[in-house]
């Protein structure tokens, strides 16, 4: 059965492979869609990465990541804008479906989350004209509330969609099961996102019980408590049929051979995540 519905976020195998090796390993398994991180692209060079993508007919479901807008002072915020414009250029060079934004948390020493959220809105607004000119949609990714302080102060799909409504064309959302599975408002907000044509990416990753580390103990689909099919069903009903991108930051899986990780991703995707399986 075709694996066109499966993308691999290359962070999932970042300890095993560089960009070129990861592409080869994916192709060997029949996977033709990827979502690289900027540091992985930078190591090989964005032009060479783009050449590899084109030469192999790969789909780049998203580039990770822009964002990190809040900063203590104006100079810091300006650096963030400059960096986001470079990220947009890289996403354009790779032909990515979207640039994912992990928006950033509180500036050092701050206890003012409302202000951080305003910086995020202003930051996205500032880079949006460049993103539109480059035809790179910006995918705001709500992160789990446990990352509100240090990683992303956009923490629910509703909040991300409110931002999209305020910012307009060229913005949308990345829906990662790991970050949103708990949300009592999830299905209503997925429907809202679909109605606004806001869904740009669908990431999959499981929530483990117990979770031993807040960043690096994410789970392979099936090893945790998330019902992937019911979320996918809602996302497809909302009109998004793009690939599901496996993004697993896990010290456990980083210690396994890359081929085993990719084969496990495929097997779990087939049995637990896809609707046409």
Give the nearer residue to its own copies in terms of CB position, either 113 or 134: 113
Could you tell me the maximum CA-CA distance found in the chain, to the nearest angstrom? 52
Closest separation between CB of residue 159 and its own copies, Å?
5
**Direct distance between the N- and C-terminal alpha carbons of the chain, in angstroms, rounded to an integer:** 8
Give the nearer residue to its own copies in terms of CB position, either 137 or 224: 224
* Nearest to 271, CA basis, from 208, 239, 211, 223: 223
φ and ψ of 6, to 5 deg? -115, 130
Give the nearer residue to its own copies in terms of CB position, either 158 or 266: 158
Give the nearer residue to its own copies in terms of CB position, either 165 or 260: 165
Closest separation between CB of residue 220 and its own copies, Å?
14
Closest separation between CB of residue 103 and its own copies, Å?
12
Give the nearer residue to its own copies in terms of CB position, either 91 or 226: 226
Angle 157-167/113-133 helices, nearest 10 degrees? 50
What would the two tokens of residue 145 be? 């509330």
* Nearest to 63, CA basis, from 107, 110, 134, 10: 10
71-73-74 Cα angle (round to 5): 100
What would the two tokens of residue 82 be? 């400059």
Give the nearer residue to its own copies in terms of CB position, either 39 or 227: 227
Closest separation between CB of residue 267 and its own copies, Å?
18
Torsion sign (Cα): 252, 255, 261, 262: positive
Q: Note the residues at the interface with its own copies (CB under 8 A).
A: 106, 110-113, 117, 144-146, 148-150, 153, 155-156, 158-159, 181-185, 207, 209-211, 214, 224-227
Closest separation between CB of residue 64 and its own copies, Å?
21
Q: How many CA atoms lie within 13 Å of 190's alpha carbon, on the beta-carbon side?
A: 22
Closest separation between CB of residue 117 and its own copies, Å?
7
Closest separation between CB of residue 98 and its own copies, Å?
23
Give the nearer residue to its own copies in terms of CB position, either 8 or 160: 160
Angle 228-237/186-195 helices, nearest 10 degrees? 30
């Amino acid at each position: 059965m075709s694996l066109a519905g499966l993308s691999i976020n290359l962070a999932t195998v970042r300890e095993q492979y560089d960009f070129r090796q990861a592409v080869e390993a994916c192709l060997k398994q029949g996977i033709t869609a990827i979502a690289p991180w900027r540091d992985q692209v930078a190591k090989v060079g964005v032009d060479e990465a783009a050449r590899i993508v084109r030469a192999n007919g790969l789909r780049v479901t998203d580039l990770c990541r822009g964002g990190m807008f809040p900063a203590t002072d104006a100079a810091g915020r300006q650096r963030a804008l400059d960096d986001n414009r470079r990220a947009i250029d890289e996403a354009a060079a790779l032909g990515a479906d979207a640039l994912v934004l992990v928006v950033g948390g509180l500036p050092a020493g701050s206890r003012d989350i409302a202000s951080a959220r305003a910086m995020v809105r202003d930051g996205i607004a500032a880079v949006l004209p460049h993103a539109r000119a480059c035809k790179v949609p910006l995918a705001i990714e709500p992160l789990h509330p446990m990352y509100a302080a240090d990683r992303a102060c956009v923490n629910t799909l509703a909040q991300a969609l409110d931002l999209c409504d305020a910012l307009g064309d060229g913005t949308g959302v990345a829906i990662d099961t790991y970050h949103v599975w708990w949300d009592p408002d999830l299905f209503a907000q997925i429907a809202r996102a679909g109605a606004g044509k806001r869904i740009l990416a669908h990431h999959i990753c499981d929530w483990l019980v117990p979770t031993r580390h807040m960043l690096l103990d994410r789970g392979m689909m099936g090893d945790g408590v998330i019902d992937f099919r019911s979320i996918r069903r809602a996302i497809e009903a909302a009109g998004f049929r793009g690939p599901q991108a496996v993004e697993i930051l896990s010290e456990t899986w980083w210690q396994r051979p890359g081929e085993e990780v990719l084969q496990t991703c495929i097997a779990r995707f087939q049995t637990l995540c896809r609707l046409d399986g």
